[in-house]
Structure 1
Amino acid sequence: MELVSFGGADTAFAARELPRPAPGPGQVLVQVMATSVNPLDLQTRRGDYRDQVALPAVIGNDVSGVVVETGPGADDFQPGDEVWYLAPVFAGQGTYAEFHVVNQALIARKPTRLSHVEAAGLVLVGVTMWEALVERAAVRAGERVLVHGGAGGVGSVAIQIAKALGAEVVTTARARDHEFVTELGADTAIDFSAGDYAPQVRAMGGADVVLDTIGRDTLTRSPEILADRGRVVSIVDTPEPQNLLAAWGVNATYHFIFVSPGRAKLEALGRLVDQGKLRPVIGAVHPLADIAQAHALLEGGSTAEGRSRPRGKIAIAVHPLT
C-alpha cells in the first residue's frame, strides 16, 4: 500500500504491485503478517515530515512476521522463524506491505504467547516506552510515575512497564476508562475532564517521573507536580512555545524521545510478556486494504457501526491468519 499524496486519509493511499524485495548482506526478507497504525504514521501521511518522505512511499514501522529468506552473512535467523521488529524511521520501504527487508541486528524472535496481530501492536509503543521509562527516565522501584493518557495506545503500555519496574503509577483518564487502566496496573486514576489533575498529584507528594503523551502545556506544567530532581519524558513534538523556567526550581530533567529500533529492547519487552507483566491492548483490527479507514479511526473518527476511536492500538492484519 503506497502513500501517493499528503493530506486526508481518504485520498492518500493506493494499492500497488511492487517487486518483491531481496535481502542484501546481513539482511533478512520477512513476510509481514501484521503491522499497526501509529500517530507517527498519521503525521507522515499528513505531510509533517515531507522533507524526509519522497512520494510515492510505503510507510509504516511495526512488523510481526515470518522470515522467508536470508542474505549473505545473516546467520542469526532461518526461514520459518517468527520475528517482530521496529523498522528504521524514514529509512527505506515501510511496513504497509506484504514483504519487508530489514537488517537482522534490528529484529528479535516474537514472543510465542503473542499472535502476530498482538505483537505488531506492541512493537513501536513498547520500544518507545522502554526507551522513555528505562533508558531515559531510569524509573526505580518505589518512585511515583504520572502517565498522561493512560487509556491510549501508548499510555496503556507505559502503565504496565512502569508497574513492572516497581513504580507507583498514577494516570490521567476519563472516568469511563478508570476500571480499564486499573486493570492494567494503575494505582490511581484521575479524571482529567472533571478538573485540574495537578492539585491531586501534589496532594500525593508529587511525581518523580512525568510521561507526556499529549503535548499542549504538559511540559510547562510538569514542574508544578514534580518532586525534587524529577524527570519529564515527552514523546510529543509540541510546536507551541513552552516556558520551562519553573523547572529550575525543582532541578528537573527533560528528555525528548524519537524512537530508535534495536533487538535488545525487543528482547527485554519479550521477557516481560513471557512473565505475564506486559500485554498488548488491541482495540481494532483492519485489513491492509482498509488502511485509510484505520487512519481515520485513529484520528478520532468513527466506524460504520458508530463506534468511536478504540482503546489501545489499531492493528493491521496483512494476511488473514494472524
Structure 2
Amino acid sequence: MRLVFAGTPEVAVPALDALLGSDRHEVVAVVTRPDAPAGRGRRLVASPVAERAEEAGVEVLKPAHPRDEDFQARLRQLAPDCCPVVAYGALLPASALSVPRHGWVNLHFSLLPAWRGAAPVQHAVLAGDEVTGASTFQIEEGLDSGPVYGVVTEEVRPRDTSGDLLTRLAFAGAGLLAATMDGIDDGSLKAVPQPDEGVTLAPKLTVEDARVDWATPALRVDRVVRGCSPNPGAWTLFRGERLKLRSVTPDPEHGPLAPGELSAGKNSVHCGTGSHPVRLEWVQPQGKKPMRAADWARGVRIGSGDVLGG
C-alpha cells in the first residue's frame, strides 16, 4: 500500500522505521507538526519524525493544521491507500480522514477502551495498572473511539516510569502497526467496535497534576513520581522554591514521619507521607541539574523544622 505516515515525537520513530523497512508498503510522505523552538536559544528545530523522514529521503509535510487547504490538496495528490498515525499531535478533520481509501489508523498506547486521550501511559502508571499495551484502531471523529484492529500487551513493572514503559510500547507497537497495515492490505484484518464498558479517560497531565501531596499514602506518592517522569516532572516546594522529584522509594521500615517531614542521615533522606515514609533517591533543585538526594540534603543543610510541600 501507499502510506502517508503522521507522527511527531521520538516515540513515533520506531513505527516509522518499521514501515520504511517493510517490503509490502511504500511510505510516500510523512506528516508532522511544524518546527518548534527548543533549547536555550529557542531556535526552531524539526521534530524527530521529520528528521528521520528526511534521512530516508521521504517528503515531509508540516501543515500548521491538517485542515489547511494546501495540505489537503497535496494529500489528495499523493493518493495514499492508508495513513498510519503515531502521536501526531493534532485533530484530523473529516475532510482529511476521507482521503485515503482505508482511512487513518492510529497506534494508541493503551488497551482500548481504557485510557482514551493524550496521556495513556502516564495514567496507567498513576492508576497502578499491572498490564497495559497498545492498540491500532480506525480514527473517527470521536476521541480514540474507533474500531480496533489489534492489540499487544505489556507488563507494567513495579519500578517503571512512564518513560520506561512508553519506550517499550513504542517498539512493541511498531510491530503491531506494521502487522495491521499488512492485514488491511490483504483483507485478513477487520476492525472490531470497542465495547461500551471499561472506558476511562487519560487527559494530558498538567504541572499541578504533578505536584506531590505528602498527605497521600507512600504508594500514591511513588506512583505520581514515576507516572510524571520524565514529563511533566513531579515536584514539591522546599523553602519556597520548586524541587523536582526524580525518584523515590517507599520505605515502610523507616520510623514514622509526619507528612512532608524530612529526615536526613549520612547517606539517605526520607520524607513522611500519609502512610509510611519514602526515601528520596534523586532530586533536582530549581535551576540545577539532577543530583542524589543525600548530596542535596548536605548542601542545603536540612534542619529539624524543614519540610517538603510548603
Give the structure-2-normalised TM-score: 0.31
Q: Which has the larger radius of gyration?
A: 2
The structure whose residues are more often helix, as a share, is 1
Which protein, 1 or 2, shows the higher relative CO under an 8 Å CA cutoff with sep ≥ 6?
1
